[in-house]
Chain A
Amino acid sequence: GAVVSQHPSRVICKSGTSVKIECRSLDFQATTMFWYRQFPKQSLMLMATSNEGSKATYEQGVEKDKFLINHASLTLSTLTVTSAHPEDSSFYICSARQPTQVRTYEQYFGPGTRLTVT
């Protein structure tokens, strides 16, 4: 149980275009989803926290107009990288938490999406 999927797993796009990444909780409902970014040999950096039905909370330094997050349902959150540039190339990972989770430290991670902007 507690499986999170991401789509696509890998995407290459041209500079200036937009890319949408989907994060789905397959066998549970997730009121909270987290979006992280991971550069090679660096930490997972939290970009934003997404709660179903409300606006995402962005971390300091993350442009909300560039990284659009929509948590439309209890099983789906999307991250859209708008007007992508080569410096946006990174590994993007989402995670999800169950609403009635007793162990609130537990978040289930998706497999990640490798974005390359050319």
Chain B
Amino acid sequence: GAGVSQSPSNKVTEKGKDVELRCDPISGHTALYWYRQSLGQGLEFLIYFQGNSAPDKSGLPSDRFSAERTGGSVSTLTIQRTQQEDSAVYLCASSPGSLSTEAFFGQGTRLTVV
């Protein structure tokens, strides 16, 4: 596609349920990031995929959070047993490679845990 696509754009879920957020990066981009943006907060780094390297998971806030990237393209961020504090906008970004580091962002998924 022309840009980074995220789905769904909005998700309301009940506390304790699992959710999956999807990111379709720009075709050919080898780097993919997930960030979380809470109300009035900056962008909190979650996880970074670069090619076939092991992902940098250092930003995942707990073991309820996981992400995978299949075939070096689509990525899914999974939050298990959601909590109210997980409510935020989850942003995905991709970039062409490790040295060309301009990142292109999707519109985000707004997650609300009720």
Our verdict on whether A and B bind, yes or no, reads: no
Q: Give residues in A with beta carbon < 8 Å to B.
A: none
